Structure 1
């Protein structure tokens, strides 16, 4: 197993083997990550061109170039970190990156928003499952596991 695959697997939270049974695992989808990065670069490019146009700057071509360099540079820098942030659903909890633990009994709402999955608890906490390949099956699976 390659080092990058080991580190990705190690970053997935995993409950103790004698604890609740794991029902599902979700990792960010690489294609979805790059597709949304491209959309973000296009949007920022248009905003930058419009801003330069309003300022009567004659070098409008620099705006989309700068936007693409900035957005794709950021994406390349953060890719390994973002793509390692997986979620694990057990019979009782959703375990996310950075030690997030969301008891299924406390989940008030699960919905898809802009290609991500939003989990809202009864206490008002919001959690995001980022870059799923297809968010709707994730939403259905979590809703089916709710008590």
Structure 2
């Protein structure tokens, strides 16, 4: 499998170049604080669920579940961090570009909304994209909505 081109500034997978007359309105890199906060929430919920399950089945050591959940999710977070934190999204006056070559023309965007701590973008054809680990999801939704409306220039 061929390796994707890397951007020299952020180390992230490079996005396609801007088209003639296209202007960048905003760019959102993954936020480390949002990434670790998300993992902390998953670890807490996973720990509670694991503890409840172990109590329900009569395990004599239900404390093992929460400890294992926190350790597992901490290890996962550490292992995946370098890749997840390279992600970035770019909004232009013509399209929304994301990691992995994702590209959606603004005319195809139906909805941008907050989804838990992230932003979900839905196209008119029903395709869904999840913009994860953003510092300010509400500002991202507002910028996408403004670009769709042609207000941000």
Q: TM over 0.5, yes or no?
A: yes
Question: For residues 5-84 of structure 1, what are the structure 2 equivalents within 5 Å?
Answer: 6=8, 8-16=10-18, 18=20, 20-84=22-86
Give RMSD over aligned pairs.
1.7
8 Å contact 2:112–2:121 — kept in the other structure?
Answer: yes
Q: CA deviation at 1:12?
A: 4.9
TM-score by length of 2: 0.87
Contiguous gaps of at least 5 residues in structure 2: 1-6
1:34 Cα offset (Å): 0.6
Going from structure 1 to structure 2, the CA distance change for 1:52 and 1:23 (only over 3 Å counts) comes to same
- Structure 2 CA distance for aligned equivalents of residues 28 and 124 of structure 1: 25
Equivalenced residue count is 143
Give a deviation string over 1:30-61, Cα, whole Å, max 9, x none. 01111110111010001001111111111111
Aligned-pair CA distance for 1:10: 3.6
Question: Contact 1:12–1:85 at 8 Å: present in 2 too?
Answer: no
